[in-house]
C-alpha cells in the first residue's frame, strides 16, 4: 500500500467509500471542509485505488485521529493497522509526542485495532454520540508516539 496526501477530488470518493462501511459516515462536504481546514489526510492506495484513509489534526506536539476507515472490499487485510502505524511514524517524525482519538463504545472492531496498536483508554464522554437506541458513550484513547 502506498500512502499519499489527499486531493480535493478525493472527497466525494472518500464519502462514498465510507458510506459503505459505517452507519455514521462523513459527507463529501465534511471531507472537503476538513481538507480546507488543513487537516492531514493519509490516503492508502493499491494500484491507484483508494483502499484505506485517515484524517489527523496536529496542534503543537499532539495530534488527534479524526477518522480512519478501510474500503469494504479490502477489510480484514490489515490495511487500517498498516495505515495507523504509518501515520503514527509520520506524526512522530513531525514532532508529535501523543496521538489521541475517540471511538464509539459499541465499535469493538475499532477498539481492538487501537488497543492492538498500543492505544490505552484515557476516559469516557458519556452519552456523547447519537445512536439508534438513544445515546452512546465515546471512549477516549491515546498513544505516546
* 98 CB-near residues (< 8 Å, 6+ apart): 61, 62, 63, 142, 143, 144, 145
Annotated catalytic residue, options 102, 128, 129, 136? 102
Catalytic annotation on 121?
A: no
- For residues 122 and 138, give the distance between their C-alpha atoms in angstroms, rounded to a whole number: 11
- For residues 38 and 22, give the distance between their C-alpha atoms in angstroms, rounded to a whole number: 24
Annotated ligand binding at 107? The verdict is yes
- For residues 128 and 107, give the distance between their C-alpha atoms in angstroms, rounded to a whole number: 14
Annotated catalytic residue, options 18, 31, 114, 136? 114
How high is the pLDDT of residue 67?
95
Tens-digit pLDDT profile for residues 33-86: 999 999 999 999 999 999 999 999 999 999 999 999 999 999 999 999 999 999
3-state secondary structure of 68: strand
Catalytic annotation on 102?
A: yes
Domains located in the chain, CATH noted: 2-144 (3.40.630.30)
Instruction: Check whether 131 has a pLDDT greater than 90.
Output: no
- For residues 42 and 77, give the distance between their C-alpha atoms in angstroms, rounded to a whole number: 18
How high is the pLDDT of residue 132?
79
Cβ contact 142:62 at 8 Å: no
Tens-digit pLDDT profile for residues 91-113: 999 999 999 999 999 999 999 99
Instruction: Note the Cα 68 to chain centre separation in Å.
Output: 2
Residue with cell 462536504: 29
Instruction: Note the Cα 73 to chain centre separation in Å.
Output: 18
Record the pTM. 0.92
Instruction: Check whether 21 has a pLDDT greater than 90.
Output: yes
Average pLDDT over residues 5-13: 95
What are the Cα distances from residue 49, in Å, to 4, 14, 114, 145? 12, 11, 25, 29
Amino acid at each position: 500500500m502506498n500512502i499519499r496526501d489527499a486531493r480535493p477530488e478525493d472527497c466525494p470518493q472518500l464519502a462514498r467509500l465510507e458510506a459503505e462501511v459505517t452507519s455514521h459516515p462523513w459527507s463529501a462536504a465534511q471531507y472537503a471542509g476538513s481538507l480546507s481546514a488543513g487537516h492531514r489526510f493519509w490516503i492508502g492506495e493499491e494500484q491507484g485505488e483508494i483502499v484505506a484513509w485517515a484524517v489527523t489534526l496536529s496542534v503543537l506536539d499532539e495530534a488527534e485521529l479524526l477518522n480512519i476507515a478501510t474500503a469494504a472490499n479490502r477489510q480484514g487485510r490489515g490495511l487500517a493497522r498498516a495505515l495507523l502505524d504509518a501515520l503514527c511514524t509520520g506524526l512522530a517524525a513531525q514532532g508529535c509526542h501523543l496521538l489521541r482519538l475517540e471511538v464509539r463504545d459499541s465499535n469493538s472492531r475499532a477498539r481492538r485495532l487501537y488497543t492492538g496498536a498500543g492505544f490505552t483508554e484515557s476516559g469516557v464522554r458519556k452519552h456523547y454520540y447519537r445512536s439508534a437506541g438513544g445515546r452512546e458513550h465515546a471512549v477516549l484513547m491515546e498513544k505516546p508516539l
